[in-house]
Amino acid sequence: MQYKQESGKVGMINTSWIPVSKPLSSTEDPEIQRTRKILLIILGVCLAFSIIGTINAISGNEIANRMQATQRGAQIGQSLISVIFYGFGIFVAYRYYETGLRVFAWLGIIAMVLFVIGIVLIIFLVISSGINKSNHVENKNFMIGLSIGIFVVVIIYIACLVLTIIIIKLSFKLAKQIESKKSLVIQRI
């Protein structure tokens, strides 16, 4: 018996019964769900406060002069912008829009810069008012009350700044998770 060796093409068949795991979609991934849920809760609370602020600004007291009318108009505008901003954040997080989350995060960075500018301006006002103190008892009481009020406003601004940083981080994290999940699904196809 002779054995002939041929160099032909060989076909291989894989008959293993290893189940192919289907990748989880963005709606089923627990890590994405956890990040999204935290972001939606924070944004929902912020939206509720913005709506309350808008209602408060709209139903304010009668306007005595033009300066108060301008301040009220600015307050209403700021409240409406906050409602739109947080509503947009909830919409893009709820719908898993990766690009929308990145736009929302960058808008949050712009808001954070504005918060920092506001804090610096308030601190500048406190320092400049401390320089102009006089020895009158009435002015001292007024200045103490003003300083306490400014201190409270600075604390509120710092809290908003920290909350904005958390929202920005979660938005970028969720966008990155959605992007990696999409690229994983594309690679498996």
Query: pLDDT tens-digit profile of 48-92?
Result: 999 998 998 888 765 555 556 667 788 888 889 999 999 999 999
Q: In terms of C-beta density within 10 A (0-12 exposed, 13-18 middle, 19 or more buried), how is residue 15 classed?
A: exposed
- Asked, for residue 123, whether it belongs to a domain, the answer is yes
Global pTM reads: 0.73
- Asked, for residue 65, whether it belongs to a domain, the answer is yes
- Asked, for residue 5, whether it belongs to a domain, the answer is no
Which pair of tokens denotes residue 170? 């979660």
- Asked, for residue 14, whether it belongs to a domain, the answer is no
Q: What percent of the chain is modeled with pLDDT above 70?
A: 71
Range of the domain at 61: 30-137+146-188
- Asked, for residue 98, whether it belongs to a domain, the answer is yes
- Asked, for residue 2, whether it belongs to a domain, the answer is no
Amino acid type, 104: F
Total domain count, the chain = 1
The closest of 72, 46, 68, 70 to 58, measured between CA atoms, is 72
